[in-house]
Amino acid sequence: MGPVIGQELRRKALIALGLALAAQLAYLAVRFRWTYAAGAVTAMAHDVLLLLGLFAWLGKTLDGVFLAALLTVIGYSINDSVVVFDRIRGLRRSRSRDPLVDVANDACLETVPRTINTGLGALFILVALYVLGGETLTDFALALLVGILVGTYSSVFTATPLAVWFEGRRDRRAGPPPAPPRARRPVGASR
């Protein structure tokens, strides 16, 4: 691939990656809260950096197929984070007095079986694709294998703790909740 085409591909890949991250941040901020969005996008950046680092370490080429795998991993990571966050939101409705840390922990524990089952199903197919897919699909399957493993891990162990941490910082900055208004006694009422 020539240097002009390589530079153009790099520029378009960075634009696509930036747009994907910004779109996911906006989506999650609207669907949940900005604190959840910040946690999920930070975890997504973690996934992308690990995948990029692995491919750089292995000396693999970063081409259009890798970019497609990278964007797929971003979608998978966000999907897992949305499942956990949605469970947190559901539990918070019924357990509004419980600390967010406890609710988030229970939500993660409830979603782990679903996350593992989904991840294992995809991993079996990707291992078969990696072994039997031939030279053209090996890098794509490797990127998706690593991305799904890291994305599954980061949804529970990176995105959720970061969302709880950001939420705690937001609550501390807001200060203590206002005191409830006192009921006024009617004029002439005795004590």
pLDDT over threshold 70, residue 189: no
Residue 191: per-residue pLDDT: 53
For every residue of 113-152, DSSP letters joined together read: HHHHHHHHHHHHHHHHHHHHS-HHHHHHHHHHHHHHHHHH
Is 183 in a helix, a strand, or coil? coil
pLDDT of amino acid 54: 92
C-alpha span between 42 and 124 (Å, rounded): 28
The tokens for 169 are 């910082």
Is pLDDT at 57 greater than 90 in this prediction? Answer: yes
pLDDT band at 186 (very low <50, low <70, confident <90, very high): low
Query: Which pLDDT does position 61 carry in this prediction?
Result: 80
**Paired tokens of 172:** 């501390």
Nearest to 166 by CA among 16, 41, 74: 41
**Average predicted confidence (pLDDT) for the chain:** 82
pLDDT at 36: 86
Q: How confident is the model at residue 173 (pLDDT cuts 50, 70, 90)?
A: low
Quote the DSSP letter at residue 133. S
CATH of 3-174, one of 1.10.287.130, 1.10.3720.10, 3.10.20.30, 1.20.1640.10: 1.20.1640.10
User: Which residue has tokens 């294998």?
Assistant: 145
Q: What pLDDT sits at residue 3? A: 59
Q: Kindly tell me the sign of the dihedral angle through the C-alpha atoms of 95, 99, 102, 105.
A: positive
